[in-house]
Structure 1
Amino acid sequence: MSELSWYGVRCVFRHRELGVYEERLTLWRAGSFDEAISRGELEAREYCADLGSVEYVDFAEAYRMSGEPGEGAEVFSLMRESGLPAGAYVGRFFDTGAERTGS
């Protein structure tokens, strides 16, 4: 088995009754990306079973952290190439006005 590292795993869900999608990030100590994703997807399916009206849309991404989790630690990073100016980029991918933030 490989040396254990911390991974952030992002999974996407659809809340059928609410008509919204959710992205959840969970932390896992694993020996590889594949192991981290497997563990994240197992938890994703348990999350859906607990809530009932939520489905996992079979999309997961993992990010290997460079150190131990702690205050200010980067737990996930995604880079995307785009020719959009900053405001248009944020509006297209992050701040569309349809987000629900908080708990």
Structure 2
Amino acid sequence: MSEQSWYGVRWVFRHRELGVYEERLTLWRATSLDEAISRGELEAHEYCADLDGVEYADFAEAYRMFGEPGEGAEVFSLMRESGLAAGEYVGRFFDTGAERAGLGEARPTSRRPPTPSAP
């Protein structure tokens, strides 16, 4: 049996009545990416069953962590090829103005100016 590692898995869910998509990150101890996703899919379906009008979008990405989870540990990483400038990239993929993040809101770092709010 292979040694277990920690995996961060990103899931996509659709909340039909709210008209939003949700990305969730969960941690799993598994021997492979496939095992982490398989184990996590059971929880993903339970998550949907516990909430009315939520469906799993059949999309998951897994990332093998190096080391143990803890403060400052990287639990997920995704690299995407793009020729966009940094501000354009963030605006297109992460800061569109339509996000709802946890109890607060996403806020730009001090390295770039705030994105104007959508009307």
TM-score w.r.t. the length of structure 1 is 0.98
Structure 2 residues without counterparts, runs of 5 or longer: 104-119
List gaps (5 residues or longer) in structure 1. Answer: none
- What whole-Å deviation, never above 9, does each CA across 1:19-50 have from its counterpart, x for those lacking one? 00000000000011110000111111100000
Separation of aligned partners in 2, 1:54 and 1:19: 10
Structure label with greater radius of gyration: 2
> What's the counterpart of residue 93 of structure 2?
93
- Give aligned pairs, total: 103
Answer 1 or 2: which has greater helix percent.
1
Residue 73 of structure 2 aligns to a residue whose secondary structure is coil
Where does residue 11 of structure 2 map in the other structure?
11
Amino acid at match of 1:85: A
4+ residue runs over 4 A deviation: none
Q: Which has the higher contact order (CA 8 A, sep 6+)?
A: 1
**Secondary structure, counterpart of 2:6 in structure 1:** strand
TM-score (norm 2): 0.85
Q: After TM superposition, give the deviation of residue 52 of structure 1 in Å.
A: 2.2
Q: 2:77: which partner in 1?
A: 77
Q: Corresponding residue for 2:49? A: 49
Offset, 1:102: 1.5
Distance 2:33 2:2 in 1: 11
Structure with a larger share of its residues in strand = 1
What is the identity percentage for the equivalent residue pairs of Structure 1 and Structure 2?
87
